[in-house]
């Protein structure tokens, strides 16, 4: 047996021993399809196209279930708004598994920021996050909560608000808006967003086998000497039994270049005052600390194979590109970082992976897609 292959198999064996010692918590099959009244209301609102101005855009336009609740328009680096010609400044993050993201907080031991929703951690809860797009002029573009209240009152299922939140639930604009966000957040916490049914999940439960290439990719993924993806994307169940989320919720400046294809640069001055000089500050703006400039939250890798494009500005269109960038950022002719300060030079940039090893890692990442329907033993 070749020494390299033996080393890879040893890594996989040790990894499986670690997994075996962790008890995973997975919802029973019969409870997965049952939504509460609040979750059902949230689902209706998630797919409600009358809640934008003008009408026609709902949450699923940028968070399609078939795409891991990411934007189905993979040919664009950022998402379109309801108003023609308007675009967001960032690639929309998938909403699947977002319910596990903790509130933004400082880890005083490691002296790093952890948690928070959106790329920059500016929302602490799913409810806060759900309040963002409806009032964002680059997204659903409602002018105020009063306009949203009027639309909610006109819904054919408006009486469901009274069933869930009590009589008069839609009488006040602020309260109506909060109830809407609360219901959407409840739906996003349901099993439909948190399925844990990828091939990898079945593999961890002893219900599927990975191919030789997938096993090799997993070995490089967990190896500290080559790949070391687990430094930011843990692949074992949490201490409480939650299946692996493939993120540690921390922040990093990966040295990602500016994306010249980002249509946000060319928006009018009232929507983008800095024009082509715009530099995304990332976490720095949220925590008011220049030392965090250019840092963005580590995303989950669940469903990553179907949620392109990648990075906060959507610059990479394929997983191979992403891993290749991680592998040779400090060696190849890559464009300079958008933010040259704070770049992570410790865990990536020269991973010494061969082309085949990059392909192996990509093959492993493809096992993280929800809805695996392979034959089970």
pLDDT value at 102 more than 90: yes
Among 29-38, 133-142, 255-264, the least confident range: 29-38
Q: Three-state DSSP class for 268?
A: coil
Average pLDDT, integer, range 67-92: 95
pTM for the model: 0.91
Judge contact between 282 and 113, C-beta under 8 A: no
- pLDDT tens digits for 12-65? 544 554 454 444 555 544 445 799 999 999 999 999 999 999 999 999 999 999
Which carries the bigger pLDDT value, residue 13 or residue 71? 71
Q: Please compute the mean of the pLDDT values over residues 155-179 and round it to a whole number.
A: 98
DSSP 242: P
Residue the block writes with tokens 């939504």? 35
- Distances from the Cα of 245 to the Cα of 172, 238, 325, 346, 376, angstroms: 38, 8, 23, 23, 23
Q: Read off the pLDDT of each residue in 5-17 and give the average, rounded to a whole number.
A: 50
CA angle 36-97-339, nearest 5°? 145
Contact 127, 98 (CB under 8 A): no
Q: Which of 136, 206, 146 is nearest to 176 (CA)?
A: 146
Domains of the chain: 3-15+33-368 (1.10.760.10)
What is the C-alpha separation between 2 and 63, in angstroms, rounded? 45
Which residue, 238, 274, 236, 231, is CA-closest to 254? Answer: 231
pLDDT category at 6 given cuts 50, 70, 90 is: very low
pLDDT at 116 over 60: yes
Confidence tier at 374 by pLDDT (50, 70, 90): confident
What value does the mean pLDDT take over residues 283-296?
97
Task: Summarize the confidence of residues 66-84 as an average pLDDT.
Answer: 95
Q: Which residue pairs from 26-34 have beta carbons closer than 8 angstroms and sit at least 24 positions apart in sequence? A: 26/196, 26/201, 26/205, 26/243, 27/191, 27/196, 31/191, 32/191, 32/195, 33/191
pLDDT at 31: 45
For residue 7, the model assigns a pLDDT of: 52
């Amino acid at each position: 047996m070749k020494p390299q292959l033996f080393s890879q198999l040893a890594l996989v064996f040790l990894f499986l021993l670690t997994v075996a010692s962790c008890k995973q918590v997975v919802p029973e099959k019969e409870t997965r399809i049952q939504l509460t009244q609040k979750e059902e209301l949230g689902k209706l609102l998630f797919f409600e196209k009358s809640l934008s101005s003008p009408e026609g855009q709902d949450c699923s336009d940028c968070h399609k279930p078939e795409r891991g609740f990411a934007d189905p328009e993979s040919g664009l680096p950022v998402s379109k708004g309801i108003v023609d010609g308007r675009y967001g400044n960032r690639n929309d993050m998938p909403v699947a598994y977002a319910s596990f993201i903790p509130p933004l907080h400082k880890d005083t031991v490691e002296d790093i920021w952890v948690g928070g929703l959106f790329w920059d951690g500016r929302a602490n809860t799913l409810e806060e996050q759900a309040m963002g797009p409806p009032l964002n002029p680059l997204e659903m573009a409602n002018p105020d909560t009063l306009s949203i209240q009027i639309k909610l009152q006109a819904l054919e299922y408006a009486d469901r608000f009274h069933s869930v939140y009590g009589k008069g639930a839609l009488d006040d604009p602020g309260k109506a808006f909060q109830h809407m966000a609360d219901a959407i957040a409840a739906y996003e916490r349901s099993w439909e967003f948190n399925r844990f049914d990828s091939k990898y999940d079945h593999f961890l439960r002893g219900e599927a086998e990975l191919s030789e290439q997938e096993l090799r990719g997993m070995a490089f993924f967990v190896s500290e000497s080559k790949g070391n993806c687990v430094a930011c994307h843990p692949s074992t169940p949490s201490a409480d039994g939650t299946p692996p989320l493939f993120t540690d919720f921390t922040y990093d400046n990966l040295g990602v270049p500016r994306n010249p294809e980002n249509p946000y640069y060319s928006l009018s001055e009232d929507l983008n005052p800095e024009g082509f000089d715009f530099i995304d500050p990332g976490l720095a703006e949220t925590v008011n600390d220049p030392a965090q400039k250019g840092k963005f939250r580590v995303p989950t890798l669940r469903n990553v194979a179907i949620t392109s494009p990648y990075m906060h500005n959507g610059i990479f269109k394929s997983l191979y590109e992403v891993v290749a960038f991680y592998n040779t950022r400090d060696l190849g002719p890559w464009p300079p970082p958008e933010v040259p300060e704070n770049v992570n030079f410790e865990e990536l940039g020269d991973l010494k992976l061969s082309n085949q090893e990059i392909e192996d890692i990509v093959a492993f990442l493809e096992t993280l897609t929800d809805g695996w329907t392979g034959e089970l033993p």
